[in-house]
Amino acid sequence: MRPIYAPNPSCELCSSDGGELVWQNDNLRVIMVDDPHFAGFVRVVWQAHVSEMTDLQPAQRSQLMQTVCLVETVMRQVLQPTKINLASLGNMTPHLHWHVIPRFANDINFPTPIWALTKEQAAQTARPCVSPEQRDALVTALRIALWA
């Protein structure tokens, strides 16, 4: 029997969307991350407060990864990034969520992972590789693909 996961009042992903909500269903939601260096950054968040992929049932894991891959597909179509970076980390917020990050050869710290951004780099003026118009086009394309 599936355990019931109560919202954790101290968890920011239980108490808020965590970004601009693009789409959601009962199990998961897709949000835009507000990051000046990585304007096309998307997160796929499991609605219930669980920590790890293997806390989900296999069919739930599959549903989550299918959504991650749909986001990746749309992101590649709209933004044509050099590389997609996928990650489920959650060391500070242990509420299952996937980072889907479009990387570009001229982004602020390619080819290192975005988490290797130094303080000096982070202090630079934002150098977004995704324009506001491209970001809006991504949101629109995601809404169309996810609501389908």
- Interaction between residue 121 and a second copy (CB under 8 A): no
Nearer to a second copy, 16 or 54 (CB): 54
Alpha-carbon gap, residue 20 to 31, rounded angstroms: 5
Contacts of 106 (CB under 8 A, 6+ apart): 129
Among 25, 112, 121, 124, binds a second copy (CB under 8 A): 112
- Interaction between residue 51 and a second copy (CB under 8 A): yes
Query: Is residue 3 helix, strand or coil?
Result: coil
Alpha-carbon gap, residue 56 to 98, rounded angstroms: 14
Binding site for a second copy (CB under 8 A): 51-54, 58, 61-62, 65-66, 68-69, 72-73, 76, 82-92, 94, 103, 110-113, 115-116
